[in-house]
Amino acid sequence: MCGIFGIVTSEERPLGPVLVEAGKRLSYRGYDSVGCATIRADGTVDLRKDVGKVDDVARRLQFHEMRGTRGIVQLRWATFGAPSRANAQPHIDSDGDLVGAHNGNVVNNVELREAFIAEGMTVRSTNDGETCVHAVERYVDRGHSMLDAIRRAYGDLEGDYSFVIGRVGENRLYAFKKGSGLVAGLTDGIAVVSSDLPSILPLTRRIVRVEDGEIVVLEPGRIELRRVEDGARVEREIETVAETMEEAQKEGYPHFMLKEIHEQPRRARELLHLYDASPHVATLAERMGRARNLYLVGCGTSYHACLLGATYIARLAGRPAIPVLAPQFVPQYVPALGPEDVGLFVSQSGETKDVLLALDAAVARGLVPLGLLNVIGSTLMYRSRAYLPLACGYEISVPATKTFLNQALAFLYLALRMGGHPTAELSRVPELLEETIAAADRQIVELVDGLAGRDDLYCLGYGLTYPIALEGALKMKEVTYAHCEGMLSTEFKHGPLSAVTEGYPVVFVCGPEDVARVVSGVNEVTCRGGRAIAVAEEDPRLRANAHDLIVLPEAGPLLNPLLAVVPLQLLAYRMSVARGIDPDFPRNLSKTLTVD
């Protein structure tokens, strides 16, 4: 959840302006701190970094003055270690001979830091980017070449990351990747590397895409790929790209919304890696488990995640949790709060005013505030007693997709831990999401022509899929401008069934345990001429009774809701495009709501 850029030149030159511009082009990813390092021709390292935005930090620390033959800039979105100057990247090794920065998460960061300290290294931060530097230092100090040291360090670092590092006395940089993006570029007398293509495009369009398990060695005007496994050279042709800046940010997808839907498997995998290694999960689970009353507080998409979370917690931990919309929390519950109560406040931005007002009112009554958020350094993070990140990176499209998925996954993870259950089963989620995206989109494309012209429809769910139906309906309203009402499927017959006419579309989101109950609702729609569309695992009862069945992989009742939201996201996206709407920036809406 960071961005890195490195450059190697044939002679010493002003690199500060180049690094600042590269940092700006990485800033769309979201970040809380920024730093630059250059290695001068005389072998000295110039390292400047701090918390803040690129322009502000660059002005305060005078990045424009920085010169050298090699340079690195990094934008950090905090995961390991709070936003601070010490945790900002790049980092140096114990003696100041190595300087490097990373993008991603090293999940065994704590264990490695303890080992490095025990080995006598100078560890200056709690950040896993520094851990990457010391992992290389360990083997350099044992007499290995840089290439061999990196190969051995690669085996010690667990997680998903990419990393760039330079050494005093060598006019080259090294970079390697394990699950996180990395691309190198080449032009006359210059070689560059970055986590993102946009930061490279103004300098060159001749690029080499680096694969997992590969090291790229950058020298002035030269790029060499090596395999981590055995150090052997990898031959790969240089390609010339034609993308614009915006196209590069979208990575070939026509809209950010579609890109972010497709990012969900990777972001889910990163969240699970992070939570498996995080001591803060146990802290939150313990505090939530011993609360007199446990409240889950959010707005919009985050509230839907809270509804799902309450069901998970009841089912897996055997205790009630109260999901509540943030503005209603104050009049309905705050007057009765006390120090024995706990609130988990959920916000992708961490700046949602309704959530912060609810938190402040609750804290005044003594409630213990916890946070679940995507933006490290946000107000919600600082006002929470403890928090967990969502590890989604920056979400550009206004409709929340990957942030909702990771909120739901975080709730399931916490519920399992609260109930004393193993979490190993969750390792299936990323692969199941990949299967769902691939299969569901093909089926949805076939449905869109018949639905795109509809201005009114329903999305129904039951039990664990009820919050998913609400979320799917919200996505439809946001990006298609059609009225789509989410509802408990058993409530549909208590009035709204009157809306059904010939061809009227009703989407049923069905878990594997609820098919018998949902089939009754399907027939209430179809016998009145309506069109029933089921989102569920393959089942002959649904196949026989619904007009359409969008098939989900077999995953069981707990994982099913995580998969079921994906077809609804894709349906909303496809309908939006078919109606000529930009799904990334729907009218009247803002990504972060800081007003009443």
Higher pLDDT, 363 or 250: 363
pLDDT at residue 595 in the model? 44
Which positions ≥6 away from 317 have C-beta within 8 Å? 289, 415, 418, 419
Checking if the pLDDT of 164 tops 80, the result is yes
Instruction: Burial-class residue 36 by CB neighbours within 10 Å (0-12, 13-18, 19+).
Output: buried
The mean-pLDDT minimum among 47-56, 67-76, 239-248, 298-307 falls in 239-248
Local structure of 386: helix, strand or coil: strand
DSSP state of 79: S
What are the residue boundaries of the structural domains of the chain, listed by start? 3-242, 254-422, 429-586
Arithmetic mean of pLDDT, 255-262:
94
Arithmetic mean of pLDDT, 326-345:
97
pLDDT tens-digit profile of 435-489? 999 999 889 988 888 888 899 999 999 999 999 999 999 999 999 999 999 999 9
What is the Cα 49 distance to its own chain's centre?
A: 24
Strand partners, 190: 9, 187
Rounded Cα–Cα distance for residues 386 and 79 (Å):
13
pLDDT at residue 222 in the model? 93
Class of domain 3-242 (CATH, top level): alpha beta
Class of domain 254-422 (CATH, top level): alpha beta
The mean-pLDDT minimum among 198-212, 355-369, 426-440, 545-559 falls in 198-212
Q: How confident is the model at residue 31 (pLDDT cuts 50, 70, 90)?
A: confident
Report CA-CA distances (Å) from 501 to 6, 63, 533: 61, 65, 15
Q: What are the start-end ranges of the H helices in 365-428?
A: 379-383, 402-418
Amino acid of residue 119: E
Arithmetic mean of pLDDT, 215-244:
91
pLDDT at residue 543 in the model? 93
Q: How confident is the model at residue 593 (pLDDT cuts 50, 70, 90)?
A: low
Instruction: Burial-class residue 118 by CB neighbours within 10 Å (0-12, 13-18, 19+).
Output: exposed
Amino acid of residue 334: V
Local structure of 551: helix, strand or coil: strand
pLDDT at residue 594 in the model? 43
pLDDT at residue 259 in the model? 94
Check for a shared fold between 3-242 and 429-586: no
pLDDT at residue 95 in the model? 94
Checking if the pLDDT of 377 tops 70, the result is no
The mean-pLDDT minimum among 180-194, 280-294, 418-432 falls in 180-194
Superfamily of domain 429-586: Glucose-6-phosphate isomerase like protein; domain 1 (3.40.50.10490)
Per-position DSSP letters for 116-159, written without gaps between them:
HHHTT-----S-HHHHHHHHHHHHHTTT--HHHHHHHHHHH--E
The mean-pLDDT minimum among 282-296, 307-321, 341-355, 409-423 falls in 341-355
Q: Are 279 and 227 in contact (CB under 8 A)?
A: no
Average model confidence (pLDDT) for the chain? 92
The mean-pLDDT minimum among 118-122, 159-163, 284-288, 343-347 falls in 159-163
Higher pLDDT, 81 or 318: 318
pLDDT at residue 173 in the model? 97
Report CA-CA distances (Å) from 284 to 275, 297, 414, 577: 11, 15, 8, 41
Instruction: Burial-class residue 188 by CB neighbours within 10 Å (0-12, 13-18, 19+).
Output: exposed
Just list the catalytic residues. 2, 591
Arithmetic mean of pLDDT, 373-382:
81
Checking if the pLDDT of 512 tops 50, the result is yes
pTM for this model (two decimals)? 0.76
Q: What is the helix, strand, coil percentage profile of the chain, to 5?
A: 40, 25, 35
pLDDT at residue 28 in the model? 65
Checking if the pLDDT of 53 tops 60, the result is yes
Checking if the pLDDT of 104 tops 90, the result is no
Arithmetic mean of pLDDT, 81-94:
93
Which positions ≥6 away from 310 have C-beta within 8 Å? 296, 320, 321, 322, 323
pLDDT at residue 378 in the model? 76
pLDDT at residue 243 in the model? 64
Percentage of the chain exceeding pLDDT 90: 77
pLDDT at residue 64 in the model? 95
Arithmetic mean of pLDDT, 181-185:
89
SS (HEC) of 243-310? CCHHHHHHCCCCCHHHHHHHCHHHHHHHHHHHHHHCCHHHHHHHHHHCCCCEEEEECCHHHHHHHHHH
Q: Are 431 and 265 in contact (CB under 8 A)?
A: yes
Q: Are 38 and 15 in contact (CB under 8 A)?
A: yes
Which positions ≥6 away from 305 have C-beta within 8 Å? 298, 346, 404, 407, 408, 411, 467, 471
pLDDT at residue 352 in the model? 85
Checking if the pLDDT of 317 tops 90, the result is yes
Arithmetic mean of pLDDT, 369-383:
86
pLDDT at residue 452 in the model? 87
pLDDT tens-digit profile of 565-588? 999 999 999 999 999 999 988 887
Q: Are 49 and 88 in contact (CB under 8 A)?
A: yes
Rounded Cα–Cα distance for residues 151 and 576 (Å):
47
Checking if the pLDDT of 550 tops 90, the result is yes
